[in-house]
Amino acid sequence: MLMSKVIIITGASSGIGEATALRLAASGAKLVLGARREDRLAELARRTGGTFRVTDVRQRADLDALVALALETHGRLDVLINNAGIGPISLMDELRVDDWIDMVDVNIKGVLYGIAAALPVFRAQQSGHIINTLSTAGIKIVPTMAVYAGTKNAVRTISEGLRQEAGPNLRVTVISPGMVATEFASSITSPAIRTQIEAGLGSIAIAPDAIARAIAFAIDQPPDVDVGEIVVRPTAQA
C-alpha cells in the first residue's frame, strides 16, 4: 500500500521526521520533505530520492507551497504528516511567555496550516490521509509540560473533530510518542529542565524508527481502515 504513495513530511530534517522519511522511502513512497534546515533537507532528499522545500510551519504560505510542490512534482498528494513540533518546556512560574507563543505557533497553528493546505486537495481527489504527531505528554500531564501538553491536546481535539467531519474518503491518525532519542531537548530554554530531560532521554529513550514503524503501519492499512491513534513509548517509561 505504501508503494508510490505521495507523502509530505514536515519537520523532516531530523528525529522522527527523518526516520519516517527513510522508512517510507525504503517502501517505495514518493516523498516531499519540509523543514527549516536546508542542508539537512537536501541530504535527506538525496538519500530518499525525494523533493524538498525549506518550510517554516509558522508561515501558512510555506505549507501551501509544500503542497503545491507535491502536486507539481507528482500530480497528487496521498498523505500529509504534520510532524514539525517544538517543546521548550518549563515551570509556569518562569513565565517564559515567548516559549508559550512559539509552541502555539508551531504545534497548533503549524498543524492547522498543513490541514488547510492539504484538505482541499484531498476533497478533490476523494482520498487522503492526515497524520499528526502528538505526545504522551498529552496523556499523562506532569509539571513543566502544561503548555506543551496543552498544544498537543489541542491537536488531538482538532484531529478528532476532523475525523468525524471527514466522511468515507479521508483518514485521520494521531501518533503519540513517548521518550524518543531526538533533538527535543535542544528547544528547551530552561537550563535545569533541559538537563533533566537530556538525562531521561539518555537512559530510556527509544529510537525514532519505532515511531516511523507506527506511522508506516497506519498508512499501510486498506483505504476503508482508519487507525485513529497509536501510542508508542519505551517499556521503561512510567
The cell numbers describing 125, all together, are 481527489
**Cell 505528554 belongs to residue:** 137
> How far apart are alpha carbons 192 and 45 in whole angstroms?
36
At 78 the three-state DSSP class reads coil
Given the residues 148, 172, 176, 184, the one annotated as active site: 148
CA 224, 215, 189, 58 torsion: positive or negative?
negative
> How far apart are alpha carbons 138 and 156 in whole angstroms?
9
The verdict on whether 148 is a catalytic residue reads: yes
- Helices 15-26, 38-48: axis angle to 10 degrees equals 20
- Cβ–Cβ under 8 Å, residues 48 and 21: yes
Instruction: Please identify every residue annotated as catalytic.
Output: 148
